[in-house]
Amino acid sequence: MTAQIQSNEGSQTGFKTGIVISIDAMGGDRGPQAVVAGMAVSASKNPDIRFVVHGDAPTLKRLIAKRRQLASICQIVHAEKIVSMDEKPSHAMRHGQGTSMWSAIDSVRNGAATVAVSCGNTGALMAVSMIRLRKAPGVSRPAIAILWPSASAHGFNVMLDVGADVKADPEDLLRYALMGSSYARNGLNLTRPRVGILNVGTEEHKGRTGLKEAHDLVAAAAPLNEFEFIGFVEGGDIPSDHVDVIVTDGFTGNVALKTAEGTASFVRRLLEQAFKHTPLSRIGALFALTSLRRLSKRIDPRRVNGGVFLGLNGTVIKSHGDADATGVAAAIRLAFQLAQIGFSKKLAARVASGLQGREDGSSTSFKE
Amino acid sequence: MTAQIQSNEGSQTGFKTGIVISIDAMGGDRGPQAVVAGMAVSASKNPDIRFVVHGDAPTLKRLIAKRRQLASICQIVHAEKIVSMDEKPSHAMRHGQGTSMWSAIDSVRNGAATVAVSCGNTGALMAVSMIRLRKAPGVSRPAIAILWPSASAHGFNVMLDVGADVKADPEDLLRYALMGSSYARNGLNLTRPRVGILNVGTEEHKGRTGLKEAHDLVAAAAPLNEFEFIGFVEGGDIPSDHVDVIVTDGFTGNVALKTAEGTASFVRRLLEQAFKHTPLSRIGALFALTSLRRLSKRIDPRRVNGGVFLGLNGTVIKSHGDADATGVAAAIRLAFQLAQIGFSKKLAARVASGLQGREDGSSTSFKE
């Protein structure tokens, strides 16, 4: 059986069962090979997954045909063009039609798929997502949320925004608190997530002026929105077990994320050097091999790959640009989980209900 | 021989030789015991060091008397009061007179010591330093610079500001570039440091508006100021070997620093768990013990302890509040190195000459 090729006009896929994920197969640094390899990993672990795959049809047909697991669960949508990794967001917005990225997002827009995954350039992906999916009611700035490896029992904290927008005013930070706690509730199964705002000190008088206002807004919203507000947190608290959701602007969040990734890689390299340093330490490494592999897996950024765009009418997941099969599979796993629980609708309801009484008051009291 | 006790009125100490460091002995979380223990470590490694020690005289006399290395190289200046760890900067500024912190800075002000070291509260220390030492000509916002463990040949990069001020405009970032490269030149022996501005992407169109202006100001200043400007860098570049000085505002810098410390501690804890996980991995840890200790030392924040306040008429070093003897000794070692090379005067000359032609043009062309 071979993969079907179709246009992206209709609102239905040919799939009768399963959860459909839309894939931009052309975006990443490693090309469609890595993306299709990641899809194959996901498919072998999950019989309910289906893919709408966007990109150069002949290439994709050939790559998918090589993977037994993929043949009957993929539909290919041909896209002529590719958004390059250094393309400006404004350019992608104006000239993006016909690209695999645009087409992948349109599958969410027209209801053919529930969640889209792309390894493409973050700025362009956010820009195209914004114009095709539009911002959800009540949201002025969408955010990118990630799962941050942490000492907590569930293994991760939620951090947002890690780079959708370099600015965020106090009202945006309130929405991030609502969206982030909804993500923690649905993605990490926490009934009452603990939310903190990132600052340079935990005392209330510290930090920027806007942060004090955000502090008061989020504190006031906590009782009605089933999260606990723990006040300001510092950089050192991000991987800790005394906060679940860390709220910050996209500039600070992006710097923090990349600093943490850089630090973890730096320590990992030092560790490798330490084990190669003497014959004794080489023997030590052999004995500890399994445990070290487990550690390496735990702090491997590929395995927690996937920034979720929150605040749009539909869910888009940004994978690392240089993701390999393992990385792409991690992003797809996350997409599948969120699609399965109907996250997009729950999130929209949560934001609308969280802002109820603050704005037009017309939103109904949906519950997650 | 016992330590002398004297008032802090005169501008001279009784020391005939050596380099004098002023110590706030009361500021830290662990009290004067830890500070005096750190002084003893420094003294045993360096015969040229002398101390003016500020705090409760009877306590200090007793603690110093127990340390053979310290007896003849310490002068005690009695200070009744202590700045608490949670005291607001504005309160310390108005009511700080008579505290060990104030007194320690006054020893630099009146010329009795070259550099002051305190484990006290950062905000208060900066506030008191600003009113007692005043800002250096041409500086509008002082900065705190630290040495960041890195993959470069000299083992460290310079990062500033890590928390003196939550804001920095483009002109401040230019001064940070000048001060940071002077610190790298003097502290790391780099003749032509590579300077980068921290941003969320390396492309020139990315990031906040002020950062683009800073980019152009720093680029224009580079040729005359013996540093190389490499443009924007990202969080992941901070511990890398392709930049020497990372310039950012104090909010972002503080979050990045604490995030990195938090990440390194988190990875260190995971590593310990990995080695305890199975009997085999425990044996492995035994074999690799020396190498692991070397690694642990390399990423131990205590051993790179010491934030240097730049942009004042005199040098003040902030040690971690919870520094133990090892941490205090590291901060004192840094103070001694900077005092030895006459860093404070070189830095002032560098900033004045770097801004020459941009402002009143009256500064002379000192060279470091």
Share of chain B above pLDDT 90, in %: 63
pLDDT of residue B1: 43
What number of residues does chain B have?
368
Q: Which residues of A62-184 form beta strands (DSSP E)?
A: 74-78, 115-118, 143-149, 156-160
Q: Which of B256, B265, B274 is nearest residue A255 as measured by Cβ atoms?
A: B256
Give the Cα separation of A366 and B193 in Å (integer).
57
Q: Which of A263, A267, A281 is nearest residue B291 as measured by Cβ atoms?
A: A281
DSSP 3-state of B87: coil
DSSP A153: T
Question: Do strands B74-78 and B156-160 pair parallel, antiparallel, or not at all (unpaired)?
Answer: unpaired
pLDDT of residue A237: 96
Where do we find the tokens 């989020």? A218
Give the Cα separation of B305 and A361 in Å (integer).
53
Residues B121-154: tens digit of each pLDDT: 889 999 999 999 999 988 999 999 999 989 998 8
Nearest alpha carbon to residue A288 among B266, B286, B295, B299: B286
Largest CA distance in chain B: 71
Cβ atoms within 10 A of the Cβ of B356, count?
A: 18
Note if the bond before B161 is cis, omega within 30 degrees.
yes
For residue A314, give both structure tokens: 């539909």
SS3 content of chain A, % helix, strand, coil (to 5): 45, 15, 35
SS3 content of chain B, % helix, strand, coil (to 5): 45, 15, 35
Give the Cα separation of B148 and B246 in Å (integer).
10
Q: Which of A200, A255, A271 is nearest residue B295 as measured by Cβ atoms?
A: A271
pLDDT of residue B85: 86
B263/A265 touch (CB, cutoff 8 Å), yes or no = no
Cα-based distances in Å from A278 to A269, B271, B288: 16, 19, 8
Residue B246 has pLDDT above 70, yes or no: yes
- Give the mutation candidate from A84, A87, A200 for the B interface (greatest B CB count, under 10 A): A200
Q: Which chain A positions have a beta carbon within 8 Å of B273's beta carbon? A: 295
- Give the mutation candidate from A266, A292, A318 for the B interface (greatest B CB count, under 10 A): A266
Q: Which of A163, A208, A237 is nearest residue B166 as measured by Cβ atoms?
A: A208
pLDDT of residue A366: 33
Residues B319-358: tens digit of each pLDDT: 988 889 999 999 999 999 999 888 888 887 778 777 764 5
A236/B255 touch (CB, cutoff 8 Å), yes or no = no
pLDDT of residue B97: 95
The number of C-beta contacts closer than 8 angstroms across A and B is 196
Q: Are B39 and B51 in contact (CB under 8 A)?
A: yes
Residues B159-180: tens digit of each pLDDT: 999 999 999 999 999 999 999 9
Positions of chain A with pLDDT lower than 70, given as ranges: 1-14, 204-205, 287-292, 295-304, 356-368
CATH topology of domain A1-139+311-342: Isopropylmalate Dehydrogenase (3.40.718)
B280/A288 touch (CB, cutoff 8 Å), yes or no = yes
Give the Cα separation of B128 and A277 in Å (integer).
47
Query: Rounded mean pLDDT of B7-16?
Result: 60
DSSP A203: S
Query: Rounded mean pLDDT of B4-16?
Result: 61
First vs last Cα of chain A: how many Å apart? 40
Give the Cα separation of A63 and A46 in Å (integer).
20
B259/A240 touch (CB, cutoff 8 Å), yes or no = no
B238/A262 touch (CB, cutoff 8 Å), yes or no = yes
Alpha carbon of B297: minimum distance to chain A alpha carbons (Å): 11
For residue B244, give both structure tokens: 């020497």
Q: Are B188 and B154 in contact (CB under 8 A)?
A: yes
Give the Cα separation of A122 and A85 in Å (integer).
9
DSSP assignment string, A216-248: HHHHHHTGGGT-EEEEEE-GGGTTSSS-SEEE-
B255/A257 touch (CB, cutoff 8 Å), yes or no = no
Q: Are A20 and A115 in contact (CB under 8 A)?
A: no
A263/B263 touch (CB, cutoff 8 Å), yes or no = yes
The domain locations on chain B are 1-136+311-341, 140-305
- Phi/psi at A300 (5° precision): -80, 115
DSSP 3-state of A92: helix
Residues B85-112: tens digit of each pLDDT: 888 999 999 999 999 999 999 999 999 9
Residue B263, Cα to own-chain centre: how many angstroms? 21
Cα-based distances in Å from A8 to A107, A179, A313, B46: 7, 30, 19, 75
**In terms of DSSP H, where are the helices of A15-56?**
31-45
Residue B365 has pLDDT above 50, yes or no: no
Closest-approach residue (CA) in chain B for A237: B262
Q: Which chain B positions have a beta carbon within 8 Å of A86's beta carbon? A: 203
- Give the mutation candidate from A121, A263, A271 for the B interface (greatest B CB count, under 10 A): A263
Nearest alpha carbon to residue A302 among A286, A318, A323: A323
pLDDT of residue A184: 93
- Phi/psi at A52 (5° precision): -105, 120
Cα-based distances in Å from B315 to A44, A214, B42, B212, B340: 62, 36, 19, 31, 12
Q: Are A74 and A3 in contact (CB under 8 A)?
A: yes
Q: In what order do the strands lie in the sheet with B143-149?
A: B4-6, B74-78, B49-55, B19-24, B115-118, B315-318, B307-310, B143-149, B156-160, B245-247, B194-198, B228-233
Give the Cα separation of B71 and B48 in Å (integer).
14
Alpha carbon of B144: minimum distance to chain A alpha carbons (Å): 14
Q: Are A234 and A199 in contact (CB under 8 A)?
A: yes
pLDDT of residue A361: 36
- Give the mutation candidate from B287, B297, B320 for the A interface (greatest A CB count, under 10 A): B287
pLDDT of residue B342: 84
CATH topology of domain B1-136+311-341: Isopropylmalate Dehydrogenase (3.40.718)
Give the Cα separation of A183 and B206 in Å (integer).
28
Q: Which chain B positions have a beta carbon within 8 Å of A207's beta carbon? A: 166, 251
Give the Cα separation of A350 and A67 in Å (integer).
40
CATH class of B140-305: alpha beta
pLDDT of residue B82: 94
pLDDT of residue B364: 34
Q: Which chain A positions have a beta carbon within 8 Å of B251's beta carbon? A: 200, 207-208, 252
Cβ atoms within 10 A of the Cβ of A174, count?
A: 25
Give the Cα separation of A281 and A278 in Å (integer).
5
For the domain spanning A140-304, the CATH number is 3.40.718.10
Q: Are A184 and A190 in contact (CB under 8 A)?
A: yes
| Confidence band of B282 (pLDDT split at 50, 70, 90) | confident
Nearest alpha carbon to residue B307 among B164, B95, B150: B164
Q: Which chain A positions have a beta carbon within 8 Å of B264's beta carbon? A: 263, 267
| Confidence band of B299 (pLDDT split at 50, 70, 90) | low
A270/B163 touch (CB, cutoff 8 Å), yes or no = no
Q: Are A129 and A274 in contact (CB under 8 A)?
A: no
Query: Rounded mean pLDDT of B229-248?
Result: 96
pLDDT of residue A8: 56
A235/B257 touch (CB, cutoff 8 Å), yes or no = yes
For residue B25, give both structure tokens: 């002995």
Q: Which of A86, A236, A292 is nearest residue B274 as measured by Cβ atoms?
A: A292
Give the Cα separation of B320 and B119 in Å (integer).
6
Lowest-pLDDT choice from A44-53, A340-349, B39-48, B275-284: B275-284
Q: Which residues contact A83 (CB under 8 A, 6 or more apart)?
A: A27, A92, A96, A99, A100, A101, A102, A120, A121, A124, A125, A128
B281/A288 touch (CB, cutoff 8 Å), yes or no = yes
Does the fold of domain B140-305 match that of domain B1-136+311-341?
A: yes
DSSP 3-state of B78: strand
